[in-house]
Amino acid sequence: MLAKFYAPSGLSNGELDSTRQTNKSEIIFLELAYNRTGNKNKRLNTSILIRYNCSGGRFNILIDAGKYIKTLRWFPFYGLLNFQACLPISLQVMQKTHYYLVDTSVIIPGAAVSDLQFNIIKEEPFTVHNLQITPLPVWHGPGYRSLGFRFGNVCYISDASDIPEETYELLTGCDLLIVTDRSSTTHFGLPRALQEVRRIQPKRTLFTGMMHLMDHDKVNEYLGSLMETEGLDIQLSYDGLRIPVSL
Tens of pLDDT along the chain (247 residues)? 444 455 544 444 443 333 334 444 444 444 443 444 567 777 767 778 888 888 878 887 878 776 555 545 445 555 566 656 556 667 777 788 777 778 888 877 877 777 777 777 889 999 988 889 999 999 988 888 889 999 999 999 988 889 999 999 999 999 999 988 765 566 677 888 999 999 999 999 999 877 767 888 899 999 999 999 999 999 998 877 788 888 7
Give the Cα separation of 208 and 46 in Å (integer): 7
Q: Please give the pLDDT value at position 18.
A: 34
Give the Cα separation of 92 and 72 in Å (integer): 24
| Helix locations, 56-179, DSSP H | 88-97, 99-102, 165-168
3-state secondary structure of 242: strand
Residue 101 and residue 118 in contact, taking contact as beta carbons nearer than 8 Å = no
Q: Please give the pLDDT value at position 224.
A: 95
Residue 192 and residue 218 in contact, taking contact as beta carbons nearer than 8 Å = no
Give the Cα separation of 181 and 120 in Å (integer): 28
Closest to 40 (Cα-Cα) out of 52, 32, 48, 28: 32
φ/ψ region of 129 (left if φ > 0, alpha if ψ in -120 to 50, else beta) reads left
Closest to 15 (Cα-Cα) out of 44, 47, 37: 44
Domain boundaries, the chain: 2-85+121-246, 86-120
3-state secondary structure of 236: strand
3-state secondary structure of 115: coil
Q: Please give the pLDDT value at position 170.
A: 97
- Global confidence as pTM: 0.73
Q: Please give the pLDDT value at position 83.
A: 59
Residue 10 and residue 210 in contact, taking contact as beta carbons nearer than 8 Å = yes
What is the maximal distance between C-alpha atoms in the chain? 66
At the topology level of CATH, where does 2-85+121-246 sit?
Metallo-beta-lactamase; Chain A (3.60.15)
Give the Cα separation of 215 and 219 in Å (integer): 6
